[in-house]
Structure 1
Amino acid sequence: MDLRLPLTTVGLCLAVLISGCSPSDEKRPQSLEEKTAQFEKSLDAIQDPKLKDAVANLGGSLLLLERAQQKLAIKPITTEYGEDAMALLKHYPTPQALVDTYINGLFVLRKDSSSDYLTDLQPVFPFNFNMPSEFPFPHGLEWQSVTLSNKKVIPFQPEWSETDPGIQLSPSSSSLTNPDDLTVAYPFVEGEEVDNKNQPQPATLKGKVEVIAPRKVFTFDLTHKDVGQTRTDDNISVTLRALEKNYAEVEVNNSTALAPDVSDTPLNPLIVQAKDTTGQFLSRSGSINEDAAHIALYQKQLAEMQKQTAWSDAFEKQLDDEQQAFEHKQTHHYTKVYFNGPIDSLEVNVLDFSAVTVTRKELELAVRRFDRNTTDKTIQSLNLPVVVYDDQAAAWLKGSTLDEEQLKKNIHVNQSVEDASAARIEFDHPKSFNDELLGTSFSPGDTPVTFFTQDDKGKRGEPIELPPEAFEIDPLHATITYDLTLFPETPAYAVGSMPLFLANIAKSSLDTQKLPKGLELKGNALVVDQKVFPAQDWRFFAKDASGNYLKEILAVSHDASAEGPAMVEVHYFYGQPTSLETYQRTNLNTVEYGFEVKLDKAENPNPVE
């Protein structure tokens, strides 16, 4: 919920909507529902379609802004931790080094498709841009063409054409999570079978990339003592307007004008993070990025709009000129950020775009093939000229020390009674590294459960005698499914014991210069003999000389034939490993989780009479 009203939008401001009320109404603040109803009524009176659309656009945005403010203000303060949004930048000495890593770490994988007429291409980026602020630098990537194995060049087109009879390169329609994925589509001929292997295959993908790096990133550490104070470093000044229990208001001023290369580029130069007393980063619940000056501009433009009877090009230019003049006068950036938990300290990061480095590069990337499972005996090289660290590894590996009490404490009981014939009780817990090493050799043992009625005092009543088919227990998924239509009485409680599973995990460290038999390092690739280190029992994490975990690029399992060598798994890393951490499951324990669950009521259980 990060809300910013675009200054290019024109429309109706909430404050002016209120100004049309009668004197008696002014004494009582309007509710959001009343404002919405009045706003919709005012829209009906506008005859000109363009003017009406403009009013609806900004008016709706302002209503959404107020609704978000109210929702964030009353949201219960529940502690929830997140990741360090600046971890990526902290690994590189300069912003430009991060840009170079982003560009030089990019490669293209060929992926199998479900159709012989399609071949999918997946650009693989060294970074996942999922931090709260997204990738902080302005960047653009444009694909141009693919060159096939027969030297034919297929230009990129923004969408697949049903009428184009040739080979096409267009965005993939099957990948919603990876918007940069592409598909090479071969022509379909009715009645003719096509073997994809005989088609010319994609060999290289061409494109161009542009990234703008700021001059510098400034970091300010603030606490409650800094409220109302301004801290300055070089040309950057930060003012902490407010720091309440779960939100902060911050204003940043840059005394130097923006570089010409980004003067018209939307920027997010301000990244605010918070920590609680444990020193952990709190996750964000939302932010508001409009201050009083912006709202005042919208109020002024509304007054001008209300004098109009129709939209015109001259009026539109007038509004645009006002907005541009306002922007040029603004030297500050404002944000009000809400966090999930009580704030102890703030980390305010400011990207200085008063000077920038623009990197433009023509890309010609070989299309590589690394199937997750292959019978190929040759171990391919995938040594990229970049180093990328895995900042989530340390937190993930804390699951290796999970104990019985921690596991029980994290159990969440969820119920579903929408389908009376398949009501469910689920014993869920946050997935951890321990779950990854549970293996498949489960022995749950007995899983007793008894259903009870409710007595006159609302407490647990008598047990209910049930036929075996009335309920089913799935201990491997920690789920109980029961059929209310087979219950002679309405159940109110379920009491029993659900088995949970906990791995004993042994950790050790290895120098890559002294690896035991079954482990071999070939450049940046760790080759693991599955006969010595079976995958269901072992995990490997690599570090370089900095002591940071290296991010794994991908893994390939080489499944050998009967007369071939032992099956091996190859793990490729962004960087050169100098040490390994090994994690071995030494035992699997069953933990009995005793429960008494107050059952949710189904609307129409239809019990047996």
Structure 2
Amino acid sequence: MDLRLPLGCLGLSVALLVSGCSPKDKQQHTSLEEKTAQFEKTLDTLQDPKLKDAVADLGGSLLLLERARLRLRDKPIETEYSDDALALLKHYPSPQALADTYINGLFVLRKTSSSDYLTDLQPIFPFSFNYPTEFPFPHALEWQSVTLSNKQVIPFQPEWSETDPGIQLSPSSANMTNPDDLTLTYPYVEGMEVDPKKQPQPLTLHGKVEVIAPRKVVTFNLTRQDVGKLQSNNNISLTLVSLDKNSAEIELNTNPTQTPQVGDTPLNPLIVQAKDSTGQFLSRAGAINENAAQIAFYQQQLDEMLEQKSWSDAFGKKLDDEQKAFEAKQTSHYTRVYFNGMVDKLEISVMDFSAATVNRKELDLPVRQFDNSTSQDVQPLPMPVVVYDDQAASYLKDAHLDAEKLKKSVVISQSVDDASAAHIEFDHPKTFNDELLGSPRAPTDSPVTFFAEDEQGKRGEPLELPTEAFEVNPLEGSITYDLNLFPETPAYAVGSMPLFLAEIQKDTLDAHQLPTGLELKGNALIVDQKRFPSEAWRFYAKDDSGNYLKEILATSHSDKPDSPPVYDVHYFYGQPTRLESYQRTALNTVEYGFEVKLDKPQAGPVE
């Protein structure tokens, strides 16, 4: 029995929360802290370990739920935008087509390793799994083994064992950016030289995948005028219970019965999105998926536990039966979603699992290697699926960034924690324009003058300083200064910091009439680096739909090791029919004038 399961959905909500509360609710938060302290005292009185664990799990979840509710409710409303969570689905004719694309677009790369005893394997997924543009359907992937070049089969194990003397296949524990990566670990013998080329190499990765595709996805577009009104579409109906400034409360009144093929898999059919008055999607701050009746039931079960002196299998079965009976009576699915911004309209999508398709497939994926190399051969990477890049259009808008917009985006930060290396930094959100800056040269002069503070607290006289008192790094956008070399503590810094702005020319090319230096071989674009050096050129591909194709990966090919690339190869999910080229034709310097009121260092200890 796992009583944490009903409240398990809180993990995402809590991860997205911020701490703190408004003064008016201080009493409620204080009361929660008192409840927490009392609960911990109660736990200490329990002697039976199993009972104590069960009480800790359920009681802790209920306290976590209450803390999440308060923090979400009191979170300041700060606008933050996001992408359409259903953008993926809109490119495919049916949910099943999207599921097929996920399954058939999966392949495995072998990555270069700095160790002779390790080989890293990276599963490449056709879709991102970062919320909110993650793959929207329930899915599971399980690795089973890898076949080596000597026909040896190495089973997958959930963690690397220090005592296992053989070859091991386990998750890459050190890789936080790609948590799905695997590592093939060869035995290490102290003092023995190993030729990595003679070790058996991974050829095929085996596993199984499961994707549950709903029969259809129904979307309701609602506003405040729809609060309390029943919305219906065939066998799906829901009610917008409330719509506040930054949150919406929804009840899916008649959740279609899940197809028997799905079994007991818990499915969340609701995808709730919000737009503000600009028409852009707001990012989610978190969600509470338990209504008052559910919380009361879990509290009742907790009270029953606290009446026990010890845990027994009979008591555990009684709780299980009560939980199943309660869940069987639930005819609705509830959620309250909080957003980062003021809600104007809602887009509520419901996945109909009443006739879902459960797709299961055994995977035997060849291990591919696409390292940068000296080979002149272009290795093919055929893909049976088409995947679009929904972020490309927004990203490319900033190719023609104007100087005023660049200056307005600058964020100034400073630190005086280290008196000998106090610094001011000028930063701005990175855009496509930054990608084509190349290697700008530092301007000969980036003036800055430090000023003292006058009696009124305003800018006083300029300070006379030795040249070693400060240093300006225009390429890094930073000023470092040594307060120990100042005659008095500076109050203001005034000057000019250079920003760099590329002039970019955009052209559209027909894939069947490419200029010399560009060549398409299937889904691979070959780019001659002498004619189109990557420092000054970028290429994006589209197919006949007019959408940008997602790039799978890119490789560089050189004549010999450590020499500049002769050509680059870009692989796409789909067949390009048009290319967009972006060329940096000039690099301009934009002077950003500033007056910064400087932070004062903390006073040192009094001797």
- What TM-score results when the alignment is normalised by the length of structure 1? 0.91
CA drift of 1:54 comes to 2.8
Aligned mates of 2:462, 2:4 — CA distance in 1: 59
Deviation track 1:425-457 (CA, whole Å, cap 9, x = no partner) reads 111111110110001032423111122222222
Aligned mates of 1:62, 1:496 — CA distance in 2: 55
Match of 1:102 in 2: 102
Aligned mates of 2:34, 2:539 — CA distance in 1: 60
Residues 203, 366 of structure 1: 8 Å contact kept: yes
Deviation track 1:127-177 (CA, whole Å, cap 9, x = no partner) reads 111123743322221222222222222222222222333222222223222
Match of 1:466 in 2: 465
Unaligned ranges ≥5, structure 1: 10-27
CA drift of 1:323 comes to 1.2
The amino acid that maps onto 1:590 is T
Q: Which moved more, 1:377-386 or 1:455-464?
A: 455-464
The amino acid that maps onto 2:287 is S
CA drift of 1:509 comes to 0.9
The amino acid that maps onto 1:204 is T
The aligned length equals: 584
Distance verdict in 2 for CA 1:601–1:166, change over 3 Å: same
Aligned mates of 2:269, 2:295 — CA distance in 1: 21
Match of 2:475 in 1: 476
Match of 2:185 in 1: 185
Aligned mates of 2:68, 2:452 — CA distance in 1: 44
CA drift of 1:7 comes to 3.0
Aligned mates of 2:134, 2:478 — CA distance in 1: 37
Deviation track 1:239-292 (CA, whole Å, cap 9, x = no partner) reads 101111111111113353222233421222111011112211111111111111
Secondary structure of the residue aligned to 1:240 is strand
Secondary structure of the residue aligned to 2:203 is strand
Q: Which moved more, 1:201-210 or 1:498-507?
A: 201-210
Aligned mates of 1:190, 1:261 — CA distance in 2: 53
CA drift of 1:469 comes to 2.0
Secondary structure of the residue aligned to 1:278 is coil
Unaligned ranges ≥5, structure 2: 9-26
Residues 420, 604 of structure 1: 8 Å contact kept: no
Secondary structure of the residue aligned to 2:128 is coil
Aligned mates of 1:314, 1:602 — CA distance in 2: 65
Deviation track 1:573-603 (CA, whole Å, cap 9, x = no partner) reads 0000111111111111111111111122222
- Identity across matched positions, percent: 71
The amino acid that maps onto 1:399 is D
CA drift of 1:8 comes to 7.7
Distance verdict in 2 for CA 1:144–1:544, change over 3 Å: same
The answer to whether structure 1 residue 398 and structure 2 residue 397 are counterparts is: yes
Aligned mates of 2:136, 2:404 — CA distance in 1: 40
Distance verdict in 2 for CA 1:576–1:596, change over 3 Å: same
Aligned mates of 2:7, 2:246 — CA distance in 1: 31
- What TM-score results when the alignment is normalised by the length of structure 2? 0.92
Q: Which moved more, 1:317-326 or 1:378-387?
A: 317-326
Q: Which moved more, 1:575-584 or 1:54-63?
A: 54-63
The answer to whether structure 1 residue 235 and structure 2 residue 214 are counterparts is: no
Match of 2:547 in 1: 548
Deviation track 1:369-403 (CA, whole Å, cap 9, x = no partner) reads 101x2111000100110000001101111111211
The equivalences for 1:66-145 within 5 A come to 66-132=66-132, 134-145=134-145
Distance verdict in 2 for CA 1:60–1:417, change over 3 Å: farther
The equivalences for 1:259-274 within 5 A come to 259-274=259-274
Match of 1:538 in 2: 537
The equivalences for 1:258-407 within 5 A come to 258-371=258-371, 373-407=372-406
Secondary structure of the residue aligned to 1:31 is helix
Residues 120, 182 of structure 2: 8 Å contact kept: yes
Aligned mates of 2:179, 2:111 — CA distance in 1: 15
Residues 133, 271 of structure 1: 8 Å contact kept: no
Secondary structure of the residue aligned to 2:354 is strand
Q: Which moved more, 1:72-81 or 1:58-67?
A: 58-67
CA drift of 1:561 comes to 4.6
Aligned mates of 1:155, 1:89 — CA distance in 2: 35
Distance verdict in 2 for CA 1:566–1:424, change over 3 Å: closer
Aligned mates of 1:101, 1:580 — CA distance in 2: 23
Q: Which moved more, 1:40-49 or 1:473-482?
A: 40-49
Residues 558, 564 of structure 2: 8 Å contact kept: no
Q: Which moved more, 1:584-593 or 1:487-496?
A: 487-496
